[in-house]
Amino acid sequence: MRQCHREIARWMEPLGAQVRVDAAGNFRGFYPGEHASSPRLILGSHLDTVPNAGAYDGVLGVVLAITLLEAFKERKLPFGIEVVGFSEEEGVRFGTPFIGSRALIGRLDDELLNLQDAEGISVRRAIQQFGLNPQEIPRAHVDPDTLGFIEFHIEQGPVLEELGCPLGVVEAIAGQNRLEFIFLGRANHAGTTPMHLRYDALAGAAEWLGEVERAAKAVPEAVATVGKIKVKPGATNVVPGEVHLALDIRHRSDEIRTKIVSQLIRKAEQISERRGLRLQHKVLLCQQAVRMDGFLLQQIELALQKAGCVPHRLVSGAGHDAMILAEKVPAAMIFLRTPGGISHDPAESVTAEDVEKAIECGLHLLDQLASPPVFLKRTVRA
């Protein structure tokens, strides 16, 4: 990440931008506007990624933002542009996502700072180990003169490809919950413990896993995933005594999602009770669905049309920093077509032609925003 920050700084500084890394590990590059008192618009996306990832999820949004600045050729707008490369959007290390963007809206609190990774290192400690000072997190807040946040991102799904559209505009982002479940049984000898005398934590967890899949399949548009599992002690000849599972569950309706989560907690409790296991669960994230800003959405649609694209509206199933920033500033997203709908995998890709369209659309959008006085009067919500 340090190398990545250095590289981006090397691209931005020659454009006249001031760069820094805030105390939550977000890269911040500020390209000033016409006047020292000009408000600012934030552009960007995240720089972290998932294990065995593709090359575009997140980072493309940062590269596109810098490309737009390069295209200005030192021209100044009535607003400055802050490029943000968010840290820890995916939630791989600490089990909960959006750590960087939460710092920008004042939600990187003690509870989050005390969260630990698999090695027992807290977020606070990780920040210190990176050479940053957690006490300076308040300085990461969005500036009060911020007009909005716009994020370019790959769609990570098949919709735009099916429609034959290079770009689309996001109208809402589905909410998501992330939870950790721990099934506790009793580790014992695999050869000598009769089947009826076992408290097999993994067999209980496996039964529950079937329920997770059934519950999501029973509700249209619901998705539920257990993408991480740890078995202790983890030996072929030992009955598993402890299993940790990470549940990720999403739906655009907060009510429906919350209902499925409650149902799955109940199922885990019933299975544990029947099998003589103990159960613990911890909520790591409960993020509501978020609508994007209506004004920015219309401006993006106009820019898409000017770039010769049909302004198709989508709901994002993936989570994004834009859904966090939306709590404080008008936020919007532009999606790029994702070949095969493949993401979170090395096969993830984009075409050069679609990226070119995104740049064209971004330049139209910035031109539009630089003119309507209604946009320039907007500021951060208290």
For the bound state, the minimum distance from the C-beta of residue 72 to ligand GLV, rounded and expressed in Å, comes to 30
Task: Check binding of 318 to ligand GLV (CB under 6 A).
Answer: yes
- Type and span of the H or E element at 129: helix 123-129
- Nearer to ligand GLV by C-beta: 56 or 183? 56
- Nearer to Mn ion by C-beta: 33 or 44? 44
Which of the listed partners (ligand GLV, Mn ion, none) does 319 bind, with a CB threshold of 5 to 8 Å by partner kind? Answer: ligand GLV
| Candidates 51-59, 76-84, 109-117, 281-289; binding stretch for Mn ion (CB under 5 A) | 51-59
- Nearer to Mn ion by C-beta: 174 or 187? 174
Retrieve residue 11's tokens: 């691209």
- Nearer to ligand GLV by C-beta: 76 or 344? 344
- Nearer to Mn ion by C-beta: 60 or 187? 60
For the bound state, the minimum distance from the C-beta of residue 319 to ligand GLV, rounded and expressed in Å, comes to 4
Task: Check binding of 57 to Mn ion (CB under 5 A).
Answer: yes
Neighbour count for residue 184 (Cβ, 10 Å): 16
For the bound state, the minimum distance from the C-beta of residue 29 to ligand GLV, rounded and expressed in Å, comes to 23
- The sign of the CA dihedral 245, 209, 344, 328 is negative
Q: Which of residues 319-338 bind ligand GLV (CB under 6 A)?
A: 319
Task: Check binding of 44 to Mn ion (CB under 5 A).
Answer: no
Contacts of residue 139, Cβ cutoff 8 Å, sequence gap at least 6: 22, 23
Please report, for the chain, how many H helices and E strands are present, in that order.
Answer: 12, 15
Distance CA 335, CA 168 (A): 5
Task: Check binding of 58 to Mn ion (CB under 5 A).
Answer: yes
Helix H segments across the chain?
2-12, 59-72, 99-104, 110-113, 123-129, 159-163, 201-217, 254-275, 294-306, 321-325, 352-370, 373-376
- Residues near Mn ion, by CB under 5 A: 57-58
Site for ligand GLV, rule CB under 6 A: 90, 318-319
